[in-house]
């Protein structure tokens, strides 16, 4: 995904034309302050290499964490004062939970004394930040939801927000994409950065959530008030990200098997 960075542009959060500031995505305090390498999908596709092998691929190097100049200074400060510290605490608890897991099966994770609504608002803000301005304009209710801390009434019929524990070294900043899966079309955006991966799905078709047993946390937005502290239990699966494709959780073994099958088909097709 290519995100154009400009000194002046349309802020992805408020929608106004402002001078852009650098927004760490996820927040710098949430384990995002070390060197990262960001690759453009267009430079990766079409290679005859395993998808996690980035040898020879051009990249952009960020010395102090990943982020983009897509948010104005006012919104940057607003997110920092309203939601970031609660998201930081959530990721710290997530790191503890994933290290406690001894296998990849779904188990209940207990999150103690978190602020669920604040966390959901930060997650949605990050999705707005990695997408083009048109996404926020078309889904203005997401902007309103983020910019009004007290607002609940999240539209769970129109939006799904899924969470998983990230297993693998490939991070994802994927803007709105259309996928056809099981003869159903789904529109989603994906953000994956340890310890979590998130998917924002628009007008989710029935059955997608069940396909991967991902945990839909959208309902939480309507269960709690701003700054309300709660203990919640979530069944979060551990999923692998070994490709740049959205919602692709195949293991390395599954990918290798698929590549071998495709090569055999090509050979047989040429031969016969």
The predicted pLDDT at position 228 comes to: 97
The predicted pLDDT at position 2 comes to: 46
The yes-or-no verdict on residue 79 having pLDDT over 80 is: yes
Q: What is the mean pLDDT of the chain?
A: 86
With H, G, I as helix, E, B as strand and everything else as coil, classify residue 226: coil
The predicted pLDDT at position 102 comes to: 53
- Give the CA distances from residue 106 to residues 46, 64, 164, 165, 210, in Å, rounded to whole numbers and listed in that order: 34, 33, 10, 10, 13
Token code pair at residue 225:
């008030």
Taking the CB of residue 185, how many other CB atoms lie within 10 A of it?
A: 10
The yes-or-no verdict on residue 258 having pLDDT over 90 is: no
The predicted pLDDT at position 260 comes to: 74
Q: pLDDT category, 1, cuts 50, 70, 90?
A: very low
- Segments of 49-156 assigned E as strands: 60-62, 67-72, 107-114
DSSP 8-state secondary structure symbol assigned to residue 115: -
**How many angstroms separate the CA atoms of 15 and 136, rounded?**
7
The yes-or-no verdict on residue 207 having pLDDT over 60 is: no
The predicted pLDDT at position 186 comes to: 85
Asked, for residue 62, whether it belongs to a domain, the answer is no
Asked, for residue 36, whether it belongs to a domain, the answer is no
Token code pair at residue 184:
């159903």
Asked, for residue 52, whether it belongs to a domain, the answer is no
Instruction: Give how many domains the chain has, as a whole number.
Output: 1
Q: pLDDT category, 106, cuts 50, 70, 90?
A: low
**How many angstroms separate the CA atoms of 229 and 129, rounded?**
26
Omega of the bond prior to 146 within 30 degrees of 0, cis?
Answer: no
pLDDT (mean) for 51-72 = 84
* Cα 27-170-108 angle, rounded to 5 deg: 70
The yes-or-no verdict on residue 231 having pLDDT over 80 is: yes
| Chain position carrying tokens 């290519």 | 2
Query: Among candidates 11, 9, 7, 6, which has minimal Cα distance to 147?
Result: 11
Domain boundaries, position 126: 86-271
Q: What percentage of the chain reaches a pLDDT higher than 70?
A: 87
Token code pair at residue 200:
């924002």
pLDDT (mean) for 190-215 = 82
Asked, for residue 124, whether it belongs to a domain, the answer is yes
End-to-end CA distance of the chain: 39
**How many angstroms separate the CA atoms of 2 and 199, rounded?**
18
Reported as a single tens digit per residue, the pLDDT across 131-189 is 999 999 999 999 999 999 999 889 999 999 999 999 877 889 999 988 877 677 889 99
**How many angstroms separate the CA atoms of 225 and 46, rounded?**
47
Asked, for residue 35, whether it belongs to a domain, the answer is no
**How many angstroms separate the CA atoms of 235 and 220, rounded?**
13
Reported as a single tens digit per residue, the pLDDT across 8-24 is 999 999 999 999 999 99
The yes-or-no verdict on residue 124 having pLDDT over 60 is: yes
Q: What percentage of the chain reaches a pLDDT higher than 90?
A: 51
Query: Among candidates 112, 40, 129, which has minimal Cα distance to 78?
Result: 129
Asked, for residue 27, whether it belongs to a domain, the answer is no
The yes-or-no verdict on residue 107 having pLDDT over 90 is: no
Higher per-residue confidence, 220 vs 146: 146
Asked, for residue 246, whether it belongs to a domain, the answer is yes
Asked, for residue 20, whether it belongs to a domain, the answer is no
Lowest mean pLDDT among 37-41, 101-105, 172-176: 101-105
CA atoms within 13 A on the CB side of 115: 19
């Amino acid at each position: 995904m290519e995100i154009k960075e400009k000194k002046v542009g349309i802020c992805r959060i408020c929608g106004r034309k402002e001078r852009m500031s650098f927004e760490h995505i996820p927040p710098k305090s949430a384990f995002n302050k070390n060197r990262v390498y960001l690759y453009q999908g267009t430079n990766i596709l079409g290679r005859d290499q395993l998808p996690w092998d980035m040898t020879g691929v051009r990249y952009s190097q960020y010395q102090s964490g990943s982020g983009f100049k897509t948010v104005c200074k006012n919104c940057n400060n607003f997110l920092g004062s309203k939601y970031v510290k609660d998201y930081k605490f959530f990721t710290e608890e997530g790191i503890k939970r994933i290290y406690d897991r001894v296998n990849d099966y779904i188990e209940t994770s207990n999150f103690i004394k978190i602020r669920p609504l604040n966390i959901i608002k930060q997650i949605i803000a990050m999705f707005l930040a990695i997408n083009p301005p048109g996404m926020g304009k078309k889904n203005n209710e997401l902007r309103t939801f983020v910019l009004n801390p007290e607002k609940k009434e999240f539209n769970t019929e129109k939006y799904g927000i899924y969470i998983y524990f990230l297993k693998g070294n490939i991070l994802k900043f994927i803007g709105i994409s259309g996928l056809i899966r099981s003869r159903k079309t789904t529109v989603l955006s994906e953000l994956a950065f340890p310890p979590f991966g998130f998917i924002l799905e628009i007008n989710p078709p029935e059955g997608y959530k069940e396909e991967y047993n991902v945990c839909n946390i959208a309902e939480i937005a309507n269960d709690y008030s701003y700054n309300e502290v709660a203990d919640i239990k979530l069944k979060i699966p551990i999923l692998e990200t070994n490709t740049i494709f959205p919602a692709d959780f195949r293991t390395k073994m599954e990918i290798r098997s698929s590549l071998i099958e495709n090569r055999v088909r090509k050979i047989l097709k040429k031969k016969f």
